[in-house]
Amino acid sequence: MQTLSAGFWGWQWAFAVLGIGAQAAAAMPVITALTLCMERHGQSALRIQGAYALTRLNIWLACLGPLLVTGDALLLLSGSGGTGALWAASLTNPAFLPYTTSVASWLAGIFCLLLYARKHSIPPLPQRTAQCGKARTDDALRHAQPGLRQSLVFVCLAALCFFAARALPYWPFASLPQGMDFSRAATAVLSGAAHNFFAALSPAGAIALLALPVVRSLLPHTPSAGANEQTAARWCALWALAGYVPRCLDRWGVLLGFALRDGALPDWLALQALAQTFLTLAIACWGILFGMRAPRRLYWLNGLALGLLAARESLPFLARLF
């Protein structure tokens, strides 16, 4: 029995850390859509290549979503000690619909991203030898991608599917709570899901920034390659910075409110304060990267920030060891 409990504990710890990748996958289509919408003069090539690279990364990350949801469901069923027949019956039980509908939404979002990647794959960026040819190259790329704006449909559909995948696990399919009607339940679930979805922009931007050196190595060396990389790095750092700021401020307000109250402090306050400290330090790392004109020299700060996020997710499990 102790071995089984240790197994559950270990799997839950692994799922908590891998959940950072699933969060990033859910919000990354939003960054991709905003990248496609950029109309800055002279940035068409960067916009097209960046959106395509984000989509390819997003497809791989999104595979974590259904895997983690399925893993959670299997852990739940394994804990009940049921037989195979009971497991099969549970799949059609209304109480189990949060898992099945979430997996279906993840798979639908991945399908939309695959459609976009297949329809809008592009060749490597052309070589640019002179500044006067820059605008001509960008115009050629615009005309070479007549369906670029239509590709927003696939990306936005993927974002909608991933949002649903994050919201459906909290919907009471079995029955609404006593005294709560449908509209109030929908408002509560959607508002919480929207807050979590916006926060997921931080790991999405951080993982995109982490993959940027790999994408850079696959592109041809052009005179504008260095400047394009710095622009892309600051763009990713912007979203990594923005996503967690509202949540961080809200949580610090709650913690300070508890700390200033009269009486004994709750036992969980110290652990939550440490978790928020990790989150604040991660935000500071992304803020430094966004504020720099050449963040390439300090990419290690992004790795440090992701490590702080992983440590933050691990704190509840590490606390059980001591």
Per the CB < 8 A criterion, the answer to whether 70 and 91 are in contact is no
> 164-201, pLDDT tens digit by residue?
999 988 877 767 777 777 788 888 888 888 999 999 99
CA angle 169, 175, 179 (to 5 degrees): 110
Distance CA 302, CA 159 (A): 24
Which carries the bigger pLDDT value, residue 97 or residue 142? 97
Per the CB < 8 A criterion, the answer to whether 266 and 218 are in contact is no
CA 168 from centre of chain: 17
Give the model's pLDDT for residue 304. Answer: 95
For the cut 50, the answer to whether the pLDDT of residue 129 exceeds it is no
Q: Please give the torsion angle defined by the CA atoms of residues 201, 9, 275 and 237, in that order, rounded to the nearest 10 degrees.
A: -20
Write out the two tokens for 239: 């979203």
Q: How confident is the model at residue 19 (pLDDT cuts 50, 70, 90)?
A: very high
Half-sphere exposure in the Cβ direction for 68 (13 Å, CA)? 23
Give the model's pLDDT for residue 222. Answer: 62
> 253-268, pLDDT tens digit by residue?
888 888 887 777 777 7
> 205-227, pLDDT tens digit by residue?
999 999 888 776 655 566 666 77
Give the model's pLDDT for residue 144. Answer: 43
Distance CA 170, CA 143 (A): 45
